[in-house]
Structure 1
Amino acid sequence: MSIKFYLKNVFFPMLAGILGIRKILKLVPVNHLIKDNGNWVSTGDDPAFVFQGKFYVGWNQINWSSNSEEYTPLKLYWNDGSGYSEVNSVIFSFISPTGAKQTSTLFIPPGVQELRLDPGEKETVFELSDFEFKKITKIHIVFQAMKKLLLQRGSNVGTIKKLIIKATYVIRKHGIRGFWSTIKNNADLTLTNVLENYQLWVAKNRISPQQKINIRHEIEMFTYKPLISVIMPVYNVEEIWLRKCIDSVIEQLYPYWELCISDDASSKEHIKRVLTEYQERDSRIKVSFREKNGHISESSNSAIEISDGEFIALLDHDDELASDALYQNVKILNENPSLDFIYSDEDKIGVDGERHSPYFKPDWSPDLILSQMYTCHLGVYRKSLVTKIGGFRQGYEGSQDFDLVLRLTELTNKIYHIPKILYHWRTIPESTASGASAKNYTHYAGIKALQDTLQRRNIKGTIEELDNYPNMYRIHYDVEREPLVSIIIPTKDMSSILDSCLESIFLKTTYLNFEIIIVDNGSTEQTTFDVFAKWKDQHPDKVSILTLDIPFNYSKLNNSAVEIARGELLLFLNNDIEVIDANWLEEMIGYASRGNTGAVGAKLLYPDKTIQHSGVIMGLGGVAGHAFRTALDTDPGYFGALMVNRNVSVVTAACLMIKKEIFSEVNGFEEDLSVAFNDVDFCLKVLEKGYYNITLNSIKLYHHESKTRGLENTTEKIKRFQSEIDYMHAHWPAYINYDPFYNVNLSLEGDCSYRIKNI
């Protein structure tokens, strides 16, 4: 690093941040923009300003004011000397109809020389002031995150104490780097160090007055208008939250509902007064005043007893429904009236009314539900099924809805996920939305519900509690038999890589009933043959060599090996895999042996202990891409996605286990896909047969990725790769456009998995 670069990109920005230096940057129009009567007018589809004035790289707080008749995205581009490109760009805010002053926080990378601002991509009229750039430090970001959390959860001793405990734990567990990563996430700062402002998403997706008119008209045209009973147990909630909760039901666009409230013998005077007031105001509101406190399960059952709806929807006494919540559910029921259980996405709402922490969920995932209560809010259930299973059970308070879902989904597979935010979960200190530690009993109630589930389903296994991650679990299934596993490893030369792989298998693996089929794809180096001989001599009953001296075709190599494999289970393994966890085979066998399980993958790490694989997302990067690639191994992932075992559409064949009979059922790997996407195609064929693929975060292996294959850097390779892309688009367009295990509201750009999609 030169002294000039250091001064410009490190020292002076750091000093400016300490001093809080402010700079006004003037907007200079450079394309499709004119000024008319004080307003900016966009005259084409590529309007652009450049910023004129000095700015500092690093963290900046940006202030400006704007106004327009519609939401117009503001996209920032930065030029580091290589020109402007979409790679170096981000939508960081909007010009909004509110006309308010706006603030955003973003990171300008070192080396940036120029900044460009694009206001939308169409003709429009708007007001936009010059921008103030205030240089800030990481300490400012920390306080910004703390302030935000206090606003969301309430400024009180309890909240502050929890934040201190959490900060202390993160620093001890993950160090300063992990603490900074957590702070960035809590401040809504993305992995690329720019503001990922959920408020922008909220604003863009807000229902307009005209849309409300259209929805009401659509409801009138519904042929099926079931009564929805909103079930709401109440106990000593603050009046302000109780009123907001009830008002959110009254404001539903779908009018065919009833609100069934059960007061669980509240001691606070205002409860009966408020409930009686609302009951007298709206005939659709029913109230049962219990004489004795029975806790949430009994209280919820009391509310169900006074309900008359065909479906019930669960609502906590301090939360809020989105105004279109019931409409969206009934809309789906008109398309598929046989559904028994519908769940949607959710977010949290602070005491200040600001929405945050959206949870964009996957479609129905039978393994994920055994790891965490991910369906949660809003849940809408067919009442007859809820009654059939006996409603809520005593003794499961805190996870009573988890227990309900586990039992109900044993009776039906008519389950649907609405990928829309329909529920706002209040974050106040006594609410579980403030963090599972706020109600630690919920964690143990969840364990009890899972234990009962395993017993009911006659499944032998153990439940692992995840340290410091309440309400998240892992099921470890017992390996009751010892099926033979055929481990298939294609290779060509690079003997040291293969030797390390085999050594890690034989030295670390505790499961012993396996065979290894090494598929030699035309090796020529004597050291490779020496490695073959070494391991075959040491384990003559376990190691065999299949020689296929043909042009590289991953699919054909593995298909040929399967023909001689003796195992009930197949494990496809790259030669650059290195075992970390000794129980890796037992864990994979436990899942792969289950009736509805298809392909089973594992968490794979680069040698620097960052994520190489924890499931594959369809559509990411164009066809398919790895989730969480390069994230830290210690990162819990999006709502625990890197901690729990979860269903995915695809797992990499670098480490993939499957029953041999399923492999045959889908006719193995597609040999027209010789290099790329053969595992993606294979997993989708398995998915189409009704099996569920799963990635196991409970086991880890190192993956020294692609050390034995070259880059796609020749004309022939590029042509072949393009043909494989074309094959995938021709055969799997539906999955490329919609991955059922990855929410449509999340990004498919580059490596930006599990970030809100740019609007």
Structure 2
Amino acid sequence: MNARTRKRLDKGLRWLARALNQTPLVRRPLSRLKPHRHLRCEENAAGTGFEWQAVGDDPQFRLTRELPLPGWHMLEVAMTHDQPSAAVKLYLDTGWGFNEAQSVYLPMKAGRVSKRLFYVPRPLKALRFDPMGQEGHFTLHHLRMAWLSPWFAHDRLAQRLANMHHEYRDVAKGEVLPALKRRAREEQRDWHTLALADYDATFERRSTRYSYTEWLSKRRRLSPQHVQRVIAKLRQRPLISIVLPVYNPRLEWLRECLDSVLEQHYPHWQLCIADDASSDSEVRQVLAEYAERDARIQVVYRQQNGHICAASNSALELAEGNFVALLDHDDRLSPYALFHVAEALHRHPDAGLLYSDEDKLGERGERFDPHFKPQWNPDLLLAQNYISHLGVYRTGLVREVGGCREGFEGSQDHDLALRVSDRLAPDQIVHIPHVLYHWRAGEGSTALESGEKNYTTEAGLMAVREQVTRRVPAAQVEAGHYPNTYRVRWPLPERLPLVSLLVPTRDGVDILKPCVDAILERTDYPELELLILDNQSTCTATLDYMRDVSTRDARVRVLRWNEPFNYSAINNFGALYARGDILGLVNNDIEPINPDWLCELVRQACRPEIGCVGAKLYYPNDTLQHAGVILGIGGVAGHAHKYFNRNSPGYFTRLNLAQNLSAVTGACLLLRKAVFQDVGGLNEEHLAIAFNDVDLCLKVRGAGYRNLWTPYAELYHHESVSRGADDNAVKRARANAEARYMRDTWSKQLDCDPAYNPNLTLVHEDFSLR
């Protein structure tokens, strides 16, 4: 080997060693940072347990050690902090100083290492790391940049875009990069730059308003004495059998789990444990120890490993109580869990299924990521297992449906909830709005990352498909955009119903024309008529357009309403002349995005149990305008997830799931004409402008139908462009009168939305804590 070859080989080996370097980066404080060891004692008390204090709104570290090589890298960060939420930024100086154009944004996820791809260009001069954007205290547990092969980076990039970016929603992972490169050629852009921009857009830039840790610290707890007084007054004190399958858990977590049962304030319980032939002999020792400690604990030791369903059924055979509660071997119950269950059964003695809110436990025992759930929401249960933990079932029902079914491992609790709920009336399914279950988010657990276990999605898909097709054989069920989520494609009737779209307008051809043209051109549902309800237009261009479009397209008719503007009255008038079996309330500033938007709405509206159906609406800048209506926000109602990014999953992925909601906006709303007529249409007398859609939805719900919002009908909405804002005294007086009417008429329902949760805010529209 000559000297030149040896030199090249040495250089290559140094490059490889540098690329594979896994050592953490050295951080040197650059600005607005103080280590706590340098603070006075009284200052350190405010941030006990944290290593650093950010003393300004732009704290900065300089990162030293060898600079990363050009190419793809993974930024990995784990951090605890005292803020409601935090996001870090990595700045790359390529000779132009540190600037936002060359920064990498990463929102922190509690209890875990947060990761994202980024690309290092040539030439890299320096790195800066900003741990948060405000004053506060924090500890960095992990900070690393790992070099990635282009193949692996491209695979991760394609996976995230396919899962989370709207441009690639229906594109298979293997087709994402070819599609991205075609788009780049069409737009005459570098594909690399476009890919990074699209990837960056999948990271939500929203801040939580209220820290869960702080929220927990301010919650009032019932004293044990008070709990015992309540228990003594219960007419019935049912025995609750806790079903616990066990297989090789971490011993300290198993002990915490068992201790959480022993610490229950409600004493009438039985712990039924099935050890599924654990290979760790110490597991048997721990279980025997606890069984000897308390006679309410019973253990069966299986001779062969049968997995979680078989083990759960073995534990179920021990159950003597009228109700069974499901517990995993590394999770914990709140000390109040069974007390709240017994209390709920006192109020709902016919209940067959009860479930609570839940949160997660990190590696250090910290509680985070609370899931505050709605009341019974059957369409949401088809889209995801929102019931989950703590699930409590009437024992006889569980045995009647055959217990946990083998073959559904990973989603056995979803399968059980579907089969049991199918045998119950809605008022027999009870939500307990307290966090009663702490789900362990350990490495490799489903709690930490639902994508960790792909088989859980497959098992859940099988469970939902069986449940749906048993009732509606022609329905199709497919995996949703996120792990463990599902989409049901309900069938259209053999004879497609005519849909009458009602579009009120006055002048404003620049708004009306794009709306009508887009509906006519971008709608693949064939049986529709579009009724333009003209409210005293005088603009020549508008009149000419309405005459022209109604002449050239037989689907369009123009009806004149020569009265003062009253949204309710205009639509009621249009409904009288509508020929369709289905009515669509459509604002004149709506533009469809996906051609099958109307097909999706019709599929849902044709279901006999469904009343009003709403769509997913965006502002022109691709932020959310409407994802359903939440009652009580702002006193009457507000739009769920308003201003969220188009790529956002939303609260527990609800922005991407069909679900039952109390109301949807009349800007794009479908319902059967017979239902509209049965409830008396829109309220002309009291709700001429605002809240008439909410009032309609509540009347429809009161008539026994479920209202529904679907994310699979997407449209742009240039909100209230044609009507204008309530910005003068007359309009404000009218708006106040309409709000008072809603409060007087629907006050009890406005204060308790079953599709929401009493622990969530009624001030904002972002599902933050109350």
2:32/2:58 contact within 8 Å kept: no
Given residue 710 of structure 2, which amino acid in structure 1 is its aligned partner?
Answer: L
Partner residue of 1:328 out of 296, 317, 340: 340
1:474/1:698 contact within 8 Å kept: no
Cα distance in 2, alignment partners of residues 184 and 661 from structure 1:
42
2:631/2:638 contact within 8 Å kept: yes
Given residue 231 of structure 1, which amino acid in structure 2 is its aligned partner?
Answer: V
Partner residue of 1:554 out of 560, 567, 579: 567
Shift of 1:103: 4.7
Counterpart of 1:571?
A: 584
Distance 1:539 1:180, change over 3 A: closer
- Residue 623 in structure 1 maps to residue 636 in structure 2: yes
Counterpart of 1:523?
A: 537
Name the SS for the 1:434 alignment partner: coil
Matches within 5 A, 1:127-206: 149=113, 191=206, 193=207, 196-205=210-219
Shift of 1:461: 2.0
Gapped regions of structure 2 (runs ≥ 5): 1-27, 37-41, 43-53, 62-79, 88-101, 115-137, 166-194
Counterpart of 2:679?
A: 666
Distance 1:557 1:183, change over 3 A: closer
Cα distance in 1, alignment partners of residues 257 and 608 from structure 2:
43
Cα distance in 1, alignment partners of residues 382 and 345 from structure 2:
26
Name the SS for the 2:266 alignment partner: coil
Shift of 1:143: 9.6
Counterpart of 2:557?
A: 544
Name the SS for the 1:433 alignment partner: coil
Name the SS for the 1:664 alignment partner: helix
Counterpart of 1:290?
A: 302
2:444/2:452 contact within 8 Å kept: yes
1:145/1:183 contact within 8 Å kept: no
Please list the CA deviations of residues 197-220 of structure 1 after superposition, one character each: whole Å capped at 9, or x if unmatched.
211122222636xx1210111111
Cα distance in 1, alignment partners of residues 209 and 531 from structure 2:
50
Cα distance in 2, alignment partners of residues 146 and 381 from structure 1:
31
2:275/2:302 contact within 8 Å kept: yes
Counterpart of 2:617?
A: 604
Please list the CA deviations of residues 620-657 of structure 1 after superposition, one character each: whole Å capped at 9, or x if unmatched.
12211111111111011010011111111110000000
- Residue 412 in structure 1 maps to residue 412 in structure 2: no
Given residue 599 of structure 1, which amino acid in structure 2 is its aligned partner?
Answer: C
Counterpart of 2:326?
A: 314
Partner residue of 2:249 out of 207, 222, 237: 237
Cα distance in 2, alignment partners of residues 194 and 699 from structure 1:
28
Shift of 1:443: 0.5
Distance 1:603 1:104, change over 3 A: closer
Partner residue of 2:505 out of 485, 488, 491: 491
Cα distance in 2, alignment partners of residues 643 and 362 from structure 1:
16
User: How high is the TM-score relative to the length of structure 2?
Assistant: 0.77
1:60/1:105 contact within 8 Å kept: no
Cα distance in 2, alignment partners of residues 143 and 515 from structure 1:
46
Cα distance in 1, alignment partners of residues 657 and 748 from structure 2:
27
Counterpart of 2:371?
A: 359
Shift of 1:464: 2.9
1:230/1:258 contact within 8 Å kept: yes
1:486/1:570 contact within 8 Å kept: yes
- Residue 247 in structure 1 maps to residue 294 in structure 2: no
Distance 1:170 1:513, change over 3 A: closer
Please list the CA deviations of residues 536-577 of structure 1 after superposition, one character each: whole Å capped at 9, or x if unmatched.
11223x222221111110000111111121211111101111
Please list the CA deviations of residues 87-141 of structure 1 after superposition, one character each: whole Å capped at 9, or x if unmatched.
xxxxxxxxxxxxxx99547899xxxxxxxxxxxxxxxxxxxxxxxxxxxxx9999
Shift of 1:265: 1.1
1:601/1:651 contact within 8 Å kept: yes
Counterpart of 1:732?
A: 746
- Residue 368 in structure 1 maps to residue 357 in structure 2: no
Shift of 1:312: 0.6
Name the SS for the 1:545 alignment partner: strand
Matches within 5 A, 1:407-446: 407-413=419-425, 414-446=428-460
Given residue 302 of structure 1, which amino acid in structure 2 is its aligned partner?
Answer: S
Counterpart of 1:652?
A: 665
Counterpart of 1:49?
A: none
Cα distance in 2, alignment partners of residues 398 and 703 from structure 1:
40
Given residue 374 of structure 1, which amino acid in structure 2 is its aligned partner?
Answer: Y
Please list the CA deviations of residues 166-187 of structure 1 after superposition, one character each: whole Å capped at 9, or x if unmatched.
79965896677887788778xx
Counterpart of 1:514?
A: 528
Given residue 399 of structure 1, which amino acid in structure 2 is its aligned partner?
Answer: S
Given residue 741 of structure 1, which amino acid in structure 2 is its aligned partner?
Answer: A
User: How high is the TM-score relative to the length of structure 1?
Assistant: 0.78
2:111/2:361 contact within 8 Å kept: no
2:600/2:713 contact within 8 Å kept: yes
Stretch moving more, 138-147 or 613-622: 138-147
1:170/1:178 contact within 8 Å kept: no
Distance 1:507 1:17, change over 3 A: farther
- Residue 265 in structure 1 maps to residue 265 in structure 2: no
Please list the CA deviations of residues 448-483 of structure 1 after superposition, one character each: whole Å capped at 9, or x if unmatched.
11111122113422223234x110111111213301
Stretch moving more, 479-488 or 325-334: 479-488
Distance 1:393 1:160, change over 3 A: farther
2:660/2:709 contact within 8 Å kept: yes
Matches within 5 A, 1:454-493: 454-467=468-481, 469-481=482-494, 482-493=496-507
Given residue 486 of structure 1, which amino acid in structure 2 is its aligned partner?
Answer: S
Given residue 345 of structure 1, which amino acid in structure 2 is its aligned partner?
Answer: D
Distance 1:155 1:681, change over 3 A: same
Counterpart of 1:95?
A: none
Cα distance in 1, alignment partners of residues 735 and 759 from structure 2:
29
Cα distance in 2, alignment partners of residues 146 and 356 from structure 1:
6
Distance 1:610 1:387, change over 3 A: same
Cα distance in 1, alignment partners of residues 503 and 237 from structure 2:
57
2:502/2:530 contact within 8 Å kept: yes
Cα distance in 1, alignment partners of residues 159 and 352 from structure 2:
42
Given residue 563 of structure 1, which amino acid in structure 2 is its aligned partner?
Answer: L
Cα distance in 1, alignment partners of residues 369 and 506 from structure 2:
48
Name the SS for the 1:519 alignment partner: strand
Cα distance in 2, alignment partners of residues 737 and 614 from structure 1:
20
Distance 1:357 1:507, change over 3 A: same
Cα distance in 1, alignment partners of residues 556 and 603 from structure 2:
23
Distance 1:453 1:146, change over 3 A: closer
2:272/2:316 contact within 8 Å kept: yes
2:665/2:693 contact within 8 Å kept: yes
Name the SS for the 2:710 alignment partner: strand
Counterpart of 2:548?
A: 534
RMSD between aligned residues: 3.3
Counterpart of 2:602?
A: 589
Shift of 1:149: 3.9
Gapped regions of structure 1 (runs ≥ 5): 1-15, 25-37, 39-53, 62-100, 109-137, 186-190
Please list the CA deviations of residues 366-412 of structure 1 after superposition, one character each: whole Å capped at 9, or x if unmatched.
11111000100001111111111111111111111111111111110
Cα distance in 2, alignment partners of residues 515 and 323 from structure 1:
59
Matches within 5 A, 1:29-108: 56-58=56-58, 103-104=82-83
Counterpart of 1:679?
A: 693
Name the SS for the 1:367 alignment partner: helix
Cα distance in 2, alignment partners of residues 288 and 142 from structure 1:
47
Shift of 1:300: 0.8
Distance 1:592 1:363, change over 3 A: same
Counterpart of 2:353?
A: 341
Please list the CA deviations of residues 573-601 of structure 1 after superposition, one character each: whole Å capped at 9, or x if unmatched.
01111111111111111111112111100
Matches within 5 A, 1:222-233: 222-233=234-245
